[in-house]
Amino acid sequence: MDKIVIEGGFPLRGDIRISGAKNSAIKLMAVCLLTDQQITLTNMPRLRDTRSMGQLLTHLGVEVGEVGASTMTLHAPKLSSSEAPYDLVRKMRATFNVLGPLLAREEEARVSLPGGCAIGARPVDLHLKALEAMGAKIELEQGYVVASAKGGLRGAEISFPFVSVGATEHALLSAVLAKGETVLMNAAREPEIIDLANCLNAMGAKITGAGRSEVRIEGVAKLGGVEHSVVPDRIEAGTYALAAATAGGSVRLTHVRHDHLGALWPLIAQAGARVSLDDSTVLIERGTGRPNPVDIDTQAYPGFPTDLQAQFMALVGLADGVSIIRENIFENRFMHCPELTRMGADITVRGREAIVRGVPEYVAAPVMATDLRASASLINAGLAARGETHISRVYHLDRGFEHIEVKLGQCGARIKRVPDD
Ligand SMILES: CC(=O)N[C@H]1[C@@H](OP(=O)(O)OP(=O)(O)OC[C@H]2O[C@@H](n3ccc(=O)[nH]c3=O)[C@H](O)[C@@H]2O)O[C@H](CO)[C@@H](O)[C@@H]1O
Ligand SMILES: C=C(OP(=O)(O)O)C(=O)O
């Protein structure tokens, strides 16, 4: 297994090209199950999660091809299995979203309960209730969801008790081929949901309202092929913006949708970095001097994303004052706190809140990545720390950040990947 070694204390200077969004790409890959025509996805990130999703789709009978560095083709003239086994589903969350499309196409499916980052209990009850409302019969058997929908799924009114990105996407994927109209209420409004709906509509689906709380889907009999470009990764962009704000320097992000990070920019500016937004680029500049303390409160989109909470904490950990970070989405998403503390941070966790008393500097230490975004916060802290930080268990990082050490290295970071012994 590899580890990342960073010699910190050097400002970042340069450009970083933002990749396609992991959290969109892996859901978009599942649309191939809904048609016998070819799907071509461009601006695809090369990640462990896209490979894992590719392995699952291959197991189901999909022909998965890679063209150049960032194009993927998916073609499923017919499927060879409707079972998604534990070993292929446990690695990440979104693999579970094949359940609805398999039901829509094969009228039956057996899908393992999902894995993903260990940041909370993460049940799938809302996914299953939505499918049941659409006429699926569902049983749980030894860690598997065994489902059938003889005669196909049918449209339904589904009101989510709280916002769930995964359940909204799963309901969309399931409803496009259902008989009749489906109405989703209290749907998630993330840009990745709009991306999925745009792709499905280009295939012939009839979805209106994606990106709003109420989404309507008029089922169609058949979907065709499509070529679709994956939306830029707002979490990757936010992570590098926060890296520049934490380590100092001047970094220009390119190929960004900065309108997808409206909740982040004012808070980075409040922390003391200069943020310049321009078409598809963002320039982040921070000189010497400590950041200002800033409180954050994670919320569903368009609020502050939980996937940037750990990275923001690494920034305000160096602030001249106290910041309160409230995590509202996942009940156990403070696993980076003990690791940041090993680097000298002063953090007290009380339930859903972390009280971060800024320290003048981080000091390098051996630390362990615990989940995907926690790993990114340790990288950002390592870039600012005095000395050589060693981050182990980087397989978490590889799930969601394409060539992170190359991208940061191009900005002058002294970062390398070495085998861990
Ligand atoms: C692959 C992917 O896109 N992952 C993202 C997705 O995760 P994911 O889709 O899993 O997140 P959800 O929006 O569904 O989860 C929100 C909350 O709802 C709970 N819940 C969810 C479903 C359900 O059936 N029952 C239930 O109780 C979850 O445990 C969590 O506390 O959105 C999260 C919130 O923006 C992000 O942090 C993840 O990076
Ligand atoms: C939590 C994440 O992924 P997953 O939902 O697959 O665990 C993430 O992308 O930050």
pLDDT in tens, 237-285: 999 999 999 999 999 999 999 999 999 999 999 999 999 999 999 999 9
CA angle 300–308–111, rounded 5-degree value: 65
**How far, in Å, from the CA of 107 to the mean position of ligand 2?**
28
Residue 54 to residues 27, 33, 77, Cα–Cα distance (Å): 11, 12, 16
**How far, in Å, from the CA of 25 to the mean position of ligand 2?**
13
Q: Which CATH architecture has domain 22-229?
A: Alpha-beta prism (3.65)
User: What's the pLDDT score for residue 119?
Assistant: 81
Ligand 2 contact, 92 CB (< 6 A): yes
> Which residue, 262, 269, 263, 261, is CA-closest to 244?
269
* 3-class secondary-structure state, position 119: coil
Atom of ligand 2 nearest to the CA of 119: 1
Catalytic residue among 117, 199, 337, 411: 117
Atom of ligand 1 nearest to the CA of 49: 1
Best of 399, 401, 402 to mutate for ligand 2, by most ligand atoms within 8 A of CB?
Answer: 399
User: What's the pLDDT score for residue 385?
Assistant: 98
- 421 residues of the chain, pLDDT tens digit each: 899 999 999 999 999 999 999 999 999 999 999 999 999 999 999 999 999 999 999 999 999 999 999 999 999 999 999 999 999 998 888 999 999 999 999 999 999 998 767 788 889 999 999 999 999 999 999 999 999 999 999 999 999 999 999 999 999 999 999 999 999 999 999 999 999 999 999 999 999 999 999 999 999 999 999 999 999 999 999 999 999 999 999 999 999 999 999 999 999 999 999 999 999 999 999 988 999 999 999 999 999 999 999 999 999 999 999 999 999 999 999 999 999 999 999 999 999 999 999 999 999 999 998 899 999 999 999 999 999 999 999 989 999 999 999 999 999 999 999 998 7
Ligand 2 contact, 372 CB (< 6 A): yes
- Atom 4 (ligand 2) nearest CA: 116
User: What's the pLDDT score for residue 91?
Assistant: 84
Distance of CA 277 to the CA centre of its chain: 23
Segments of the chain assigned to CATH 3.65.10.10: 2-19+232-419, 22-229
Q: Render 281-328 in DSSP notation, one character per residue.
A: EEEEEE-SSPPPP--EEB-STTSB-GGGHHHHHHHHTTSSSEEEEE--
Task: Specify the CATH number for 2-19+232-419; select among 3.10.180.10, 3.30.450.40, 3.40.50.10490, 3.65.10.10.
Answer: 3.65.10.10
> Which residue, 159, 404, 42, is CA-closest to 391?
404
Ligand 2 contact, 23 CB (< 6 A): yes
- Atom 29 (ligand 1) nearest CA: 122
Q: How far apart are CA 369 and CA 3, in angstroms?
A: 10
**How far, in Å, from the CA of 264 to the mean position of ligand 2?**
19
Atom of ligand 1 nearest to the CA of 127: 24
- Atom 2 (ligand 2) nearest CA: 117
Ligand nearest to the CA of 97: 1
Ligand nearest to the CA of 371: 2
Q: How far apart are CA 219 and CA 30, in angstroms?
A: 17
Report DSSP state, residue 114. Answer: P
> Which residue, 402, 405, 367, is CA-closest to 388?
367
- Atom 10 (ligand 2) nearest CA: 307
Atom of ligand 1 nearest to the CA of 307: 37
User: What's the pLDDT score for residue 420?
Assistant: 83
Is 194 assigned to a binding site? no
| Residues 29-73 pLDDT 10s | 999 999 999 999 999 999 999 999 999 999 999 999 999 999 999
Q: How far apart are CA 214 and CA 78, in angstroms?
A: 33
Kindly report the pTM of this predicted structure. Answer: 0.98
Residue 286, Cβ neighbours under 10 Å: how many? 23
Q: How far apart are CA 379 and CA 344, in angstroms?
A: 15
**What is the predicted ipTM?**
0.99
Q: Is 117 a catalytic residue?
A: yes
